[in-house]
Amino acid sequence: MAQRRVTVFVTINSRNDIRLHSSDVPVVQDFIVQFDNNQTGAHFDGFLVDFSLPADSGQNAVWTFNPGGPIWVKLADRRGACPRNQNDHQQGILTNPTLSADNRTLTVGNANAVVQYFGFALRFVNLNGAPDLTYDPIGNNQNGPQ
Protein backbone atom coordinates (compact mmCIF):
# COMPACT_ATOMS: atom_id res chain seq x y z
CA MET A 1 0.00 0.00 0.00
CA ALA A 2 1.21 3.50 -0.78
CA GLN A 3 1.49 6.65 1.28
CA ARG A 4 -1.40 9.10 1.09
CA ARG A 5 -0.44 12.52 -0.30
CA VAL A 6 -1.97 15.41 1.66
CA THR A 7 -1.55 19.18 1.62
CA VAL A 8 -1.39 21.39 4.70
CA PHE A 9 -1.63 25.09 3.89
CA VAL A 10 0.36 27.65 5.89
CA THR A 11 -0.81 31.26 6.22
CA ILE A 12 1.27 34.04 7.80
CA ASN A 13 -0.79 37.11 8.73
CA SER A 14 0.22 40.75 9.20
CA ARG A 15 1.22 40.17 12.85
CA ASN A 16 3.36 37.21 11.77
CA ASP A 17 0.89 34.80 13.37
CA ILE A 18 0.86 31.51 11.52
CA ARG A 19 -2.10 29.21 10.92
CA LEU A 20 -2.36 25.75 9.37
CA HIS A 21 -5.39 24.39 7.54
CA SER A 22 -6.17 21.43 5.31
CA SER A 23 -9.09 19.72 3.65
CA ASP A 24 -7.06 16.47 3.54
CA VAL A 25 -6.28 15.88 7.23
CA PRO A 26 -7.77 17.32 10.44
CA VAL A 27 -5.99 20.37 11.85
CA VAL A 28 -7.16 21.09 15.41
CA GLN A 29 -6.93 24.66 16.78
CA ASP A 30 -4.94 25.73 13.68
CA PHE A 31 -1.76 23.92 14.84
CA ILE A 32 -2.28 20.21 15.66
CA VAL A 33 -2.12 18.06 12.51
CA GLN A 34 -3.72 14.64 13.03
CA PHE A 35 -2.60 11.66 10.98
CA ASP A 36 -4.66 8.45 10.79
CA ASN A 37 -3.83 5.86 8.15
CA ASN A 38 -7.56 5.11 7.75
CA GLN A 39 -8.96 8.67 7.60
CA THR A 40 -10.54 8.22 4.19
CA GLY A 41 -11.99 4.76 4.83
CA ALA A 42 -9.16 3.19 2.86
CA HIS A 43 -5.91 2.10 4.47
CA PHE A 44 -2.62 3.85 3.62
CA ASP A 45 0.90 3.23 4.92
CA GLY A 46 1.56 6.74 6.18
CA PHE A 47 1.62 10.07 4.44
CA LEU A 48 3.50 12.25 2.01
CA VAL A 49 2.83 15.74 3.38
CA ASP A 50 3.11 18.94 1.34
CA PHE A 51 3.32 22.04 3.55
CA SER A 52 2.28 24.76 1.12
CA LEU A 53 2.93 28.49 1.58
CA PRO A 54 0.81 30.04 -1.22
CA ALA A 55 2.04 33.52 -2.16
CA ASP A 56 -1.52 34.87 -2.50
CA SER A 57 -2.56 34.05 1.09
CA GLY A 58 -2.15 36.49 4.01
CA GLN A 59 1.34 37.99 4.07
CA ASN A 60 2.89 34.89 2.49
CA ALA A 61 4.20 36.79 -0.56
CA VAL A 62 7.21 38.08 1.42
CA TRP A 63 8.04 34.71 3.06
CA THR A 64 9.51 31.37 1.93
CA PHE A 65 10.59 28.24 3.76
CA ASN A 66 14.16 28.52 5.05
CA PRO A 67 16.33 26.65 2.50
CA GLY A 68 19.05 26.26 5.15
CA GLY A 69 16.80 24.06 7.30
CA PRO A 70 13.06 24.30 6.72
CA ILE A 71 11.94 21.87 9.46
CA TRP A 72 13.07 20.40 12.79
CA VAL A 73 11.18 17.55 14.49
CA LYS A 74 11.25 15.78 17.86
CA LEU A 75 9.04 13.52 19.95
CA ALA A 76 6.97 15.53 22.38
CA ASP A 77 4.64 14.99 25.29
CA ARG A 78 1.04 16.23 25.55
CA ARG A 79 2.32 19.65 26.64
CA GLY A 80 3.77 20.06 23.17
CA ALA A 81 7.49 20.64 23.66
CA CYS A 82 8.83 21.46 20.20
CA PRO A 83 12.40 21.58 18.90
CA ARG A 84 14.10 24.90 19.65
CA ASN A 85 17.13 24.44 17.42
CA GLN A 86 18.92 22.00 15.12
CA ASN A 87 20.35 20.12 18.12
CA ASP A 88 16.82 19.11 19.18
CA HIS A 89 16.06 17.59 15.73
CA GLN A 90 15.39 13.82 15.72
CA GLN A 91 15.75 11.88 12.47
CA GLY A 92 13.11 9.42 11.33
CA ILE A 93 9.85 11.09 12.40
CA LEU A 94 9.24 13.28 9.35
CA THR A 95 11.59 12.10 6.64
CA ASN A 96 13.19 13.27 3.41
CA PRO A 97 12.39 16.99 3.61
CA THR A 98 12.39 18.43 0.09
CA LEU A 99 11.75 22.02 -0.98
CA SER A 100 10.19 23.08 -4.26
CA ALA A 101 12.30 25.28 -6.55
CA ASP A 102 10.57 28.44 -5.26
CA ASN A 103 10.88 27.37 -1.56
CA ARG A 104 7.08 27.61 -1.13
CA THR A 105 6.31 23.89 -0.73
CA LEU A 106 8.04 21.63 1.77
CA THR A 107 7.38 17.92 1.28
CA VAL A 108 8.08 15.35 4.01
CA GLY A 109 7.31 11.69 4.56
CA ASN A 110 5.45 10.50 7.65
CA ALA A 111 5.36 6.71 8.00
CA ASN A 112 2.89 7.00 10.92
CA ALA A 113 4.40 3.67 12.03
CA VAL A 114 3.65 4.11 15.75
CA VAL A 115 1.29 6.14 17.89
CA GLN A 116 3.27 9.25 18.78
CA TYR A 117 2.89 12.92 19.52
CA PHE A 118 5.64 15.02 17.96
CA GLY A 119 6.56 18.66 17.82
CA PHE A 120 7.95 20.25 14.71
CA ALA A 121 9.28 23.66 13.85
CA LEU A 122 8.56 25.15 10.44
CA ARG A 123 11.19 27.76 9.60
CA PHE A 124 10.68 30.75 7.30
CA VAL A 125 12.83 33.54 5.85
CA ASN A 126 11.59 36.99 4.87
CA LEU A 127 12.39 38.11 1.31
CA ASN A 128 12.66 41.74 2.50
CA GLY A 129 15.28 41.01 5.16
CA ALA A 130 13.02 41.04 8.26
CA PRO A 131 13.92 38.54 11.03
CA ASP A 132 13.26 34.86 10.33
CA LEU A 133 10.17 33.14 11.76
CA THR A 134 9.85 29.74 13.40
CA TYR A 135 6.42 28.21 13.97
CA ASP A 136 6.00 25.19 16.23
CA PRO A 137 2.89 23.12 15.51
CA ILE A 138 2.22 19.57 16.74
CA GLY A 139 1.81 16.30 14.85
CA ASN A 140 -0.36 13.52 16.20
CA ASN A 141 0.33 10.11 14.65
CA GLN A 142 -2.69 8.05 15.67
CA ASN A 143 -1.78 4.58 14.42
CA GLY A 144 0.70 2.44 12.55
CA PRO A 145 0.46 0.24 9.48
CA GLN A 146 -1.90 -2.74 9.71
- Tell me how far CA of residue 4 lies from CA of 36, 94, 114, 132, in angstroms: 10, 14, 16, 31
pLDDT of residue 78: 59
Q: What mean pLDDT, rounded, does the chain reach?
A: 91
Bridge partner residues of 121 (DSSP): 72
Which tops the pLDDT comparison, 55 or 14?
A: 55
Domains parsed from the chain with CATH numbers? 4-141 (2.60.40.420)
Name which of 21, 25, 20, 19 is nearest 6 in CA terms: 25
User: What percent of the chain shows pLDDT beyond 70?
Assistant: 95
**pLDDT (tens digit per residue) in 90-139:** 889 999 999 999 999 999 999 998 888 899 999 999 999 999 999 999 89
pLDDT of residue 97: 96
Above 60 in pLDDT, residue 80? Answer: no
pLDDT of residue 64: 96
Distance between CA atoms of 14 and 58, rounded to whole angstroms?
Answer: 7
pLDDT of residue 145: 47
pLDDT of residue 26: 96
**pLDDT (tens digit per residue) in 19-65:** 999 999 999 999 999 999 988 888 888 999 999 999 999 999 999 99
pTM metric for this prediction: 0.93
Above 80 in pLDDT, residue 79? Answer: no
